[in-house]
Amino acid sequence: MEPGNIDFAIDPVMPKNRNSRIGCIGAGFIMADCHLVAYKDAGFNPQAITSLSLDESKAVAARHNIPKVYKNWKELISDPDIEIVDIAIAPDSQLGVIRELVKQNDHIKGVLCQKPLAMNYQEAQMIVELCEDSGIKLSVNSNMRYDQSIRALKSILNQNFLGEPVLATIEMRAIPHWQDFLKKYDHLEILNMGIHHIDTFRYLFGDPERVTTITRQDPRTKFSHIDGISQYTFQYSNGFMATSLDDVWAWPGEGTEKDIYIKWRVEGMDGMAQGTIGWPKYPEPTPSTLEFTSNHFPGKWIRPHWNKVWFPDAFQGTMAQLLVAVEKNAEPEISGKDNLVTMAIIDACYQSIKEQRTIYLSETIKANKEARL
């Protein structure tokens, strides 16, 4: 194969029917500037919106030509025209919405929940079971899986250009804008930011055998939290390791130079790939990057280029895979059931911090199942 013939497979599979009527719960940044922008570009069909602020809902509806605005989410999910519900609210509120939503399974066919799906594995499992019992397709907006460099990396791995993976790393030097609702949580960085990297490792390499996590508080974040700056390492039964350093301190402030970035790297027996994630420069459109070298293409660096960016383009993929699942009556690519393992790893990370030891994923899943009995 010539390098120019490599299929990097960055584009999502689209549904045949893009007219499914979508009801949107939430009108904040992630909905207004990511979901709805991506849906317009993809030709999807948002028909209703609601949020905690009626004025904000009306403003976002006007901006995106959404015909229906509801005072609250209970009114929206009761609309018999709504087929797909897109939820972008705080994670501790999603279970309550799902409890009511499943009662509307005569017209709601699919739900896209924001990540994290819930505050912990047990609450997430309740959401999964409620949707399964009602026959509603449940998916989770794990949008980093649709970042272009991550999608291309998955294709490279699938085509075995790197050989057996040996080590993967993500290094994040970025300062999040913590939303106000996070101030009531003590679980902060891993649950709300690191979850991107945790789920991406799973997408690329499967589920780890065990996880070790250390953390410290972030001096810039003044509200109470357990995890500010975090490092977690996945270990697999075959010896493979994947580790992420999430540095939300990154830049002390005025008087010092910024060096903000997200980098990733994967080393294998037959090659190496590395890249950057463009998100820290948002709203400046900054495509993610990828380059790799492989003994399949001796003496060369392969450097594909694309114009799409994670925010907002990746959000086409998260909705598209749900619409495809509804269309084919199949399991969504990013299903709620699959996401339970991501939630179990997050629980394991916090257990590792608390107990200062390596946690086997199997013991976390077993403990959560026993707690439900």
Which residues fall within 8 angstroms of residue 63, CB to CB, at 6 or more apart? 32, 36
Which residues fall within 8 angstroms of residue 77, CB to CB, at 6 or more apart? 23, 25, 85, 97, 100, 101, 104, 108
pLDDT digits (tens, 9 = 90+) for 250-289: 988 889 999 999 999 999 999 999 999 998 888 889 999 9
Predicted confidence (pLDDT) at residue 179 exceeds the cutoff of 80: yes
CA dihedral angle for residue 258, residue 264, residue 269, residue 272, rounded to 10 degrees: -70
* Strand ranges of the sheet holding 241-247, from the earlier edge strand across to the other edge: 289-294, 271-276, 261-268, 165-173, 241-247, 229-235, 210-216, 359-360
pLDDT above 90 covers a percentage of the chain that reads 90
Question: Domain 147-311 belongs to what architecture?
Answer: 2-Layer Sandwich (3.30)
Q: What is the mean pLDDT of the chain?
A: 95
| pLDDT the model gives residue 372 | 67
What's the CA gap between 256 and 251, in Å, rounded? 7
What's the CA gap between 360 and 365, in Å, rounded? 9
Domain with CATH 3.30.360.10 in the chain: 147-311
DSSP-derived pairing of the beta strands 45-50 and 21-25: parallel
pLDDT band of 366, cuts 50, 70, 90: confident
| pLDDT the model gives residue 177 | 86
| pLDDT the model gives residue 105 | 81
What's the CA gap between 124 and 336, in Å, rounded? 8
Interval 317-322 mean pLDDT:
98
| pLDDT the model gives residue 373 | 57
Tokens of 234: 């996945």
| DSSP H or E stretch at residue 336 | helix 336-355
Upstream peptide bond of 12 is cis (omega within 30 degrees of 0)? no
DSSP-derived pairing of the beta strands 68-69 and 45-50: parallel
Structural Rg of the chain based on CA atoms: 20
CATH superfamily for 21-143+316-332 is NAD(P)-binding Rossmann-like Domain (3.40.50.720)
Predicted confidence (pLDDT) at residue 218 exceeds the cutoff of 60: yes
Domain with CATH 3.40.50.720 in the chain: 21-143+316-332
pLDDT band of 4, cuts 50, 70, 90: confident
What's the CA gap between 327 and 317, in Å, rounded? 15
* Strand ranges of the sheet holding 21-25, from the earlier edge strand across to the other edge: 68-69, 45-50, 21-25, 84-87, 110-113, 137-140
Q: On the CB side of 342, how many CA atoms lie within 13 Å of its CA?
A: 33
| pLDDT the model gives residue 362 | 94
| pLDDT the model gives residue 79 | 98
pLDDT digits (tens, 9 = 90+) for 52-106: 999 999 999 999 999 999 999 999 999 999 999 999 999 999 999 999 999 988 9
